[in-house]
């Protein structure tokens, strides 16, 4: 049982590491300026990165008066 839990933890860690590498390669880091759906009129800033549901990497993006979670590796999210 303990061995299975250890293996599961390692699998989760590897998944998170892989996603972090992809996010950094894409330019998804705190303070990065991003847009959604190529809308250059609405700019957001990455506030922080965190591990969300099912170990998927997510970011909190913000602009004045708005704060929302977003999948860090979403094709809809573009770094400027």
Q: Which residue has the higher pLDDT, 7 or 60?
A: 60
pLDDT confidence bin for 7, thresholds 50/70/90: confident
Residue 19 in tokens: 């996603």
The three-point CA angle 28-32-36 to 5° equals 75
Tens of pLDDT, residue by residue over 26-52, are: 999 999 999 999 999 999 999 999 999
Q: What is the pTM of this model?
A: 0.86
pLDDT of residue 5: 65
């Amino acid at each position: 049982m303990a061995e299975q839990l250890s293996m599961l933890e390692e699998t989760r860690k590897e998944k998170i590491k892989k996603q972090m590498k992809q996010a950094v390669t894409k330019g998804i880091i705190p303070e990065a300026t991003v847009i959604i759906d190529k809308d250059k009129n609405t700019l957001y800033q990455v506030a922080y990165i965190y591990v969300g549901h099912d170990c998927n990497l997510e970011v909190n993006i913000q602009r004045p008066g708005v704060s929302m979670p977003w999948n860090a590796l979403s094709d809809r999210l573009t770094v400027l």
